[in-house]
Structure 1
Amino acid sequence: MSEAEPVAYEVRGSTAVVTMDRPDYRNAQNSVMTYALDRAFQRAVDDDDVKVIVLAGAGKHFSAGHDIGTPGRDVDVHYDNEAIIWWDHVGREGGDQRYAREMEVYLGMCRRWREIPKPVIAMVQGACIAGGLMLAFVCDLIVAADDAFFADPVVRMGIPGVEYFAHPWVLGPRAAKEILFTGDRFTAQRAYEWGMVNRVVARDSLEAETFAIADRIAAMPRFGLALTKRAVNQCEDAMGMRNGMDSVFGLHHFAHAHNAEVGADSLGGMDAKSMKSAGS
């Protein structure tokens, strides 16, 4: 796939496979990818023959997270406001620009995808970092290869976690604090022990195991699956996830503003290279 369309789409039986396809950049997420993902998910929702969706990443890694330094980074590119109703971020300044963009492309899109009425399975290998972790969080199940590793290291930027802040609900409060306070990577096995991951399988069995689960789910009634997914999501929100996430999104942007006021930029002077050298 070209940089202009960095998401592949195919249907295998009753399962749609949505694949992030920027392997040269560890599937870093720019806005072009975000909207390509949204189109692919919508295509799967509209196809009555599709019962389950698998989200995958091409190459060695699932996703290294938000694009903060590739040649395809497109922070100043117009988007079409599919997730929320707000003005465009292009041509805005300061917090207006950052808030509008991140509410749409990150928090808004993740919430939109969490509400997909068909089961979504993340098939994770290699790196699943920061924004990649958000994509895994919105999926209903996570099947991880034994070489998968996870992290949300943005506290190194002075920022309290990524925009879709599901950590306390997905990991539990103490595990969430550990991974955020340290910025350390954690293994697929540790994620399984914390309840974040459903299964850990050998790397060469990842695809077969994921599609076997998808086939079992696809045998269930489609409307029953949709209602069950909605039931669990509603209970999760009743436990405070949506309101908590809204409050943390404000803290996230306060951190951006603080960084911009006291330093060189909103990311605390960090870039892709410095984040990687620090252990990400």
Structure 2
Amino acid sequence: MSNILVQDFADGVTLFTINRPHKRNAICSKTAIELQQAYARFDRSEQRVAVITGAGNEAFSAGADVADVPELWRCVPTVGGLDEKPVIAALGGWAVGGGMIIAMMADLVVMADNAKLSYPEAKLGLTQGMIAGLAGRVPHKVAMEVMLLARTVDARRAYEVGMANEVVPVGRQVEAALAMARELAAMAPMVHRTLKRFVTQQVLAHGPTERFARTKREMEAIGNSEDCAEGFRAYREKRPPVFAGR
């Protein structure tokens, strides 16, 4: 059984739902891989806008599943996929650790009024470092408060400091995010792709962890390509390879 739900709507919007409510939508290895694969299908499709949410209203995501720690970068927007099309995160309840990173890397965020952001790595003695990108997206002192003091940010403050675009009553966050997505889907996709590419590649700072993850993704794409398989096959068969560029 899949840990995610994917709904493609005829208006060009796709809804991704992390579907592990019994685990507060924590992301295990399988979930991260399934999301990355779903992102890739979306990127290749004619769909125009992605919305990411978590099942229920208690938690968008509790972050990495400590019983099965994932390569979290795989499901982070603009790192593991969803590079150029608009991405909206719809948060209800807690967004902890990796869940907060997914929201941070989305283009737009809708929060229920019960939403809370938390990044507790300084209390745990472990970090993978991708949260450093927060300092390029909100005021520096606010980012350092979240990272160094590990203080919780509620929906009201998140809106005030620029971590959220809208705050809505609990239970209406997906509805509001889909409405925003449909507004975007009616606009020019080439403009959206160009502006997002300019912002993510040339305006926003990329931390070391983010750069590493992007590089790993690119190297994996080559290693898993048809050309790579053909190259090794041709070597074994002692013939010139015939590359297809995919």
Give the drift of 1:186: 1.0
Which structure is larger by alpha-carbon Rg, 1 or 2?
2
In structure 2, relative to structure 1, the CA distance for the partners of 1:114 and 1:197 (3 Å cut) is farther
2:72 equivalent among 71, 93, 106: 106
Matched position secondary structure for 1:166? helix
Give the drift of 1:245: 3.4
Within a 5 Å distance, the mapping from 1:191-270 to structure 2 comes to 191-237=158-204, 241-242=205-206, 244-246=207-209
Aligned mates of 2:102, 2:210 — CA distance in 1 = 20
Q: Match for residue 15 of structure 1?
A: 13
Q: Match for residue 50 of structure 2?
A: 53
Give the drift of 1:210: 1.2
Aligned mates of 1:29, 1:125 — CA distance in 2 = 16
When the two chains are superposed, the root-mean-square deviation of aligned CA atoms in Å is 2.2
Query: Given that residues 107 and 164 in structure 1 are in contact (C-alpha distance below 8 angstroms), is that contact kept between their aligned partners in structure 2?
Result: no
Q: Deviations over 1:81-135 (max 9, x none)?
A: xxxxxxxxxxxxxxxxxxxxx7xx2346535346522101001100100110111
Give the drift of 1:138: 1.7
Amino acid at match of 1:158: G
Structure 1 residues without counterparts, runs of 5 or longer: 76-101, 250-280
Aligned mates of 1:180, 1:9 — CA distance in 2 = 32
Matched position secondary structure for 1:177? helix
Query: Given that residues 50 and 88 in structure 2 are in contact (C-alpha distance below 8 angstroms), is that contact kept between their aligned partners in structure 1?
Result: yes
TM-score of the superposition, structure 1-length normalised?
Answer: 0.69
Give the drift of 1:153: 0.7
Query: How many percent identity over aligned positions?
Result: 29
In structure 2, relative to structure 1, the CA distance for the partners of 1:210 and 1:115 (3 Å cut) is closer
Amino acid at match of 1:189: R
Matched position secondary structure for 1:66? coil
Aligned mates of 1:170, 1:114 — CA distance in 2 = 19
In structure 2, relative to structure 1, the CA distance for the partners of 1:63 and 1:108 (3 Å cut) is closer
Give the drift of 1:204: 3.3
Amino acid at match of 1:7: I
Matched position secondary structure for 1:56? strand
